[in-house]
Amino acid sequence: MGITKTLQDRFEKFTAKTSPDVTGTRYANSKTIALPRFLEGSSAMAVIVELTRNILANEGVPPGQQGVYFAFAQRARKIAFSHSGTPLEKFLEGLKAEFVSKGCDPAILDKIASLITG
């Protein structure tokens, strides 16, 4: 029969795995893979942020109110990394309802969502 590990056991294992010499070596070995993956993943988000910035400027949204729209765009793009088609549209409908309740203009949210869905 197995033994249930305590929090202390788990902490000690985590600490051993994350010592600077071990993590440094692991990172050095995977850096050639990690950097292109980071660029690939972050570039998609950066493009959405810049396109959202253009929409907000065209719509005349004041800078103090833009943050919530950027949050919507980033969350919508994150959902699109793992969903498409009808499930993505349903997620975006729910996300839109959440952000409308935070005071966002639904028409602007639709424009931002169309960046994601095409």
Closest by CA to 90, choosing from 76, 108, 109, 106, is 76
pLDDT value for 89: 95
Q: Which residue has the higher pLDDT, 12 or 73?
A: 73
The confidence score (pLDDT) of residue 17 equals: 78
Domains held by the chain: number? 1
Q: Do 34 and 94 meet the contact criterion of CB atoms below 8 Å apart?
A: no
In a domain, 13, yes or no: yes
Looking at residue 41, which CATH number applies to its domain? 1.20.58
Over residues 77-89, mean pLDDT: 93
- Residue 37 within any structural domain of the chain: yes
- Who wins on pLDDT, 2 or 101? 101
Domain extent, residue 36, equals 7-117
CB neighbour list of residue 64: distance below 8 Å, 6 or more residues apart: none
Is the pLDDT assigned to residue 1 strictly greater than 60? no
Tell me if 27 is assigned to some domain.
yes
Question: pLDDT by residue (tens digit) across 21-49?
Answer: 878 888 888 989 988 888 887 888 899 99
Whether 80 is covered by a domain: the verdict is: yes
Task: Over range 57-62, report the average pLDDT.
Answer: 96
> Does some domain include residue 57?
yes
Residue 87 covered by a domain: yes
Report pLDDT for 10: 85
Farthest-apart Cα atoms in the chain, separation:
65
Residue 29 lies in a domain: yes
Residue 2 has a pLDDT of 61
Domain annotation covers residue 2? no
